[in-house]
A and B are shown apart, each in its own frame.
Chain A
Amino acid sequence: MRDFVKRSVVGLAGALLISSCAFAQAQQSPKPNFGGPESLYDKLGDTGTGGPAPKRDLTGFWAGEVAAKLNPVPPMTPWGQEQFKQHKTNGEVPVADSNDPIKGCDPLGFPRNMLFMTRGIVFAQMPGKMIEMSEYNRIWREIWTDGRELPKDVGGRSADAPDPRWYGYSVGHWEDDYTFVVNTVGSDERTWLDNAGHPHSIELRVEERYTRVNHNRLEVTVKIDDPKTYTKPFVITKSIFTWIPQQDFEEELCVPSEQAEYLKLVGEPAAHKNAQ
């Protein structure tokens, strides 16, 4: 009898546990929020449409999520798999043991900067080019709109071949009054595609589509085409950005000296048994 009561109580408690977990998960908002807003995007919430989008104009400050939600990558080529095996991510091993380039505050590079640490972006339009800036590390990309072609043979052996760049070479054009399309080549192979350590090659070509749906909403699609690394092109993300009413945001940098102090005080001790 005592066992029956015991089993009943445990069973009831287990059922309550499962249902309470289910309830807790069901209460989550579409924008995950663990304990409070962690970005201006979360804090702003639904800002409404703000009215119609102005034509051919992205100028201003926009808030996004810290990390974009990513689609699965297609199967990698043997070369891509080989690169991938060499990448030790912060999710798989302690930070101190990873070889993620950003561990030492190297640049995120493009397109990773459009997939991670996307809390804030800024556009400034000027004759012949669009400048896109990121809150994180305060970097910018120049996107030429003067009709020039993308450079060829980036990283090639010829004397006039341009060098690869952390943020590549970009050109852009308005597809219609509300969609700005950017094509980029020449991203440095030292950068990772994403936090999962997926690689890319110098053959990478990226197409970004910025669609201003209304005054306050900007949808961004990032498409990857890298035949040396992936067996087919794919859309890695479709992200949403929100107009920032105050047109300002926090400063966020990866500071090498402060990161080194972090690794010394926390990263190394957390990773190794006798580090302290």
Chain B
Amino acid sequence: MKGKLLRPLALLGFLSCYSARLPAHHGSASYKTDQIVILKQATVTKFVWANPHAMLLFDVKDDKGNVSHWAGEAGSPSAIRQLGWNKHSLQPGDVVTVQLYPAKFENNVGRLEAVVLAGGTTLKNSPRGDQGVISRY
């Protein structure tokens, strides 16, 4: 019984702590910033190294083989380069795990939290550091 009680609490705790530390990205009004979706076996279709936002497009299959198309936004190249990314980090066909904050309308778009590469390397996304204006929103 304790296990049943504690597991969801642990998850809630993780999300609560995590969301408390999540900065107010200036586009966060679109996203559920207290919820992380983890998409495994995601196949990269396009990686756009663009300013002011890098973007990752990828496909995910469900149990029945139905494919859904997703898009995730990251910080600017100059920001995520500090975290180990470069324009060659992801190639079409790469199979990765994507962690993202989904859009409120659940339209298969989100703000990337991290991408885990097939070799196990984790590329964290930049929070876009708007800490200086949190109190203004």
> Does B associate with A?
yes
In the assembled complex, the CB of A103 is this many whole angstroms from the nearest CB of chain B, namely 10
Chain A contributes a number of interface residues (CB within 8 A of B) equal to 69
The prevalent SS among residues of B at the interface is: mixed
Within 8 A of B (CB), among A239-258: 249-255, 258
CB pair A93 B29 closer than 8 Å:
yes
A34-B23, A70-B136 as given contacts; A252 in contact with B129, CB under 8 Å:
no
Within 8 A of A (CB), among B1-54: 1-2, 5-6, 9-10, 12-13, 16-17, 20-24, 26-31, 48, 50-53
Smallest CB gap from A32: residue in B: B131
Q: How distant is the Cα of A240 from the Cα of B53 in the complex, in angstroms? A: 26
Within 8 A of B (CB), among A83-107: 89-96, 105
Asked if A127 is at the interface of the complex by the 8 Å CB criterion, the answer is: no
In the assembled complex, the CB of A30 is this many whole angstroms from the nearest CB of chain B, namely 12
CB neighbours (8 Å) of A51 from chain B are none
Asked if A146 is at the interface of the complex by the 8 Å CB criterion, the answer is: no
Stretch at the interface among B59-67, B78-86, B87-95: B78-86
Asked if A39 is at the interface of the complex by the 8 Å CB criterion, the answer is: yes
In the assembled complex, the CB of B10 is this many whole angstroms from the nearest CB of chain A, namely 8
Q: How distant is the Cα of A35 from the Cα of B127 in the complex, in angstroms? A: 8
What residues make up the interface of B, taking CB atoms closer than 8 Å to A?
1-2, 5-6, 9-10, 12-13, 16-17, 20-24, 26-31, 48, 50-53, 55, 57, 71-73, 75-79, 81-84, 103-105, 107-110, 114, 124-133, 135-137
What residues make up the interface of A, taking CB atoms closer than 8 Å to B?
5-6, 9-10, 13-14, 16-17, 20-21, 24-25, 28, 32, 34-40, 42-43, 65-70, 72, 89-96, 105, 115-116, 119, 135, 194-196, 198, 237, 249-255, 258-259, 261-262, 265-267, 269-273, 275-276
27 contacts between A and B (CB under 8 A): A10-B5, A34-B21, A35-B114, A35-B125, A36-B82, A36-B83, A36-B124, A65-B131, A65-B132, A66-B128, A67-B132, A70-B132, A70-B136, A72-B135, A91-B26, A91-B29, A105-B52, A252-B78, A253-B52, A255-B50, A258-B53, A262-B50, A265-B48, A265-B55, A265-B109, A270-B31, A270-B107
